[in-house]
Amino acid sequence: MKVYHGFLDPALKKKRRSVAIGIFDGVHLAHRRILKNAIRAAKTNHAVPLVVTFDPHPQKVLSGNKKNPPILMSLEHRLRVMASLGIEEALVVRFDKKFSKMTREVFLRSRLLGRLGMVSLAVGHDFCFGRNAAGGLDYLSQEAKRFGFKLSVCPAVRARGKTVSSTMIRRLIEGGSLAKARLMLGRPVSIFGTVIHGRGRGKKVGFPTANLDPHHETLPPEGVYAVRGRLNKRLLLGVLHIGKRPTFSDTQKSVEVHWLDWSGNLYGREIELFFMKKIRPTRRFASARALERAIRKDILAAGLASRA
């Protein structure tokens, strides 16, 4: 995927583009419908499918000092998933107070049509843009007729009777309902981050772990999980622990994985881990030996989950 940073990126050249706009936090089922609409329109109109997205999340900028909900996916994670779906280009707009004051006319006519060469636009049913959110679907429909670009609007998507949304998925993940979250995401719940050095606790009890620094903020509840990861083309199986280490009186929360079939050095590498099954909650053991026995059972359970 080719990534441009802002509309003034010197590498950005005007050409026929099929555009999808949104935050796409989670790249869930509704987002995928929008992206597929953009890809389909690109083929029909001999254009390049491009996503316009924003960083940081606009809500973090516009809400002032209010506490904001945690994000489901980092920017890099979102771009990776969108690229895997067939999006060829992405334009990342730095969202700040100045950008938030741009009028709907300037954003549509000067940026989307003028700079990008947009011939089609795909958005969600609740999409709005421009200063004071003045640019809604009625305005877009009117402008599409005036300037001759195709407009597709994705209706709300439901999964088992519930409207799919980033907010709902966030609640499900934080509440531990990973199977329900998976239905709305259209993919397993995952953690994406960088492997970092930890304290070596796992190695001391005979099970070395790779500590992960997550790039996003939404995590499942503390506990032990069976996970899958992918390193290049190799599938990795592991046991993931999220939370504190009460057996060692360690109150610092961590995310660490013990690989069932890997012993190489992954420090500094970025990896995505997909949740397969929760094995047990975090608990305090009477001794390191008791913890070792529990980990052996966790490994066995993770191996069985991988075959399920």
Look up residue 135 and give its DSSP letter. Answer: B
pTM of the model: 0.88
What is the extent of the structural domain holding 125?
Answer: 2-163
Residues 216 and 271 in one domain: yes
The pairs formed by 187-191 with CB atoms below 8 angstroms and a separation of 24 or more are: 187/81, 187/274, 188/228, 188/274, 188/275, 188/276, 189/220, 189/274, 189/275, 190/272, 190/273, 190/274, 190/275, 191/216, 191/219, 191/240, 191/255, 191/272, 191/273, 191/275
- The residue to which tokens 């199977």 are assigned: 179
Q: Is the pLDDT of residue 67 over 80?
A: no
Q: Is the pLDDT of residue 249 over 70?
A: no
| Domain assignment of residue 176, yes or no | no
Q: With contact defined as beta carbons under 8 Å apart, do 224 and 241 qualify?
A: yes
Pick the range with the lowest mean pLDDT from 176-180, 200-204, 219-223: 200-204
62: tokens are 């516009």
Average pLDDT over residues 225-245: 85
Number of domains making up the chain:
2
Residues 157 and 206 in one domain: no
Pick the range with the lowest mean pLDDT from 108-122, 205-219, 223-237: 205-219
The helices-and-strands tally (H runs, E runs) of the chain is 10, 14
Residues 46 and 145 in one domain: yes
User: Residues with Cβ < 8 Å from 176, sequence gap 6 or more?
Assistant: 220, 221, 223, 278
Average pLDDT over residues 222-234: 86
Residues 157 and 223 in one domain: no
The residue among 295 and 251 whose pLDDT is bigger is 295
